[in-house]
Amino acid sequence: MKSILDGFKEFVLRGSVIDLAVGVVIGGAFSKIVTSLVDNFMSPLIATVFGEPDFSQALILTINGAQFKFGAILTDIISFLAIAAALYFCIVLPLNKVHEMRKSGQIEEPDAPAEDVLLLQEIRDLLKAQRTN
């Protein structure tokens, strides 16, 4: 039983799990921004063009009491494309531009970590290597 708990402890304290947890938390927080952008900008923009902010109640086909809500599917597709566009234009495109500018020398690369940070990273890596052996 102790070896199972030790294995679990090693798994949880591994850097990739912690990085993943941080990514999930940041993603959750960022999703609020994207949702707000879609709800407060994209949906009203769609409403100005088509008269309604979504099509969920507009395109419904009823056969023998079963409802096929094609409008809801169309709304979800439009929402997905709006979210993808927001991510691309607000995150991916600017980061790619910064990367290109660094590559061409227009922007300097960030400074290398300080000597003490490098030493601490080396110690961390050696400790990890000892634990796995």
Q: CATH code at 55?
A: 1.10.1200.120
Instruction: Count how many domains the chain has.
Output: 1
Residue 104 has pLDDT above 70, yes or no: yes
To 10 degrees, the CA torsion angle through 31, 37, 38, 42? -160
Q: pTM above the 0.75 mark?
A: no
- 2-48: per-residue pLDDT in tens? 778 877 777 767 667 777 887 888 888 888 887 888 788 877 887 88
Specify the DSSP element, H or E, that contains 79.
helix 70-87
Whole-number pLDDT of residue 64: 92
- Domain limits for position 56: 2-132
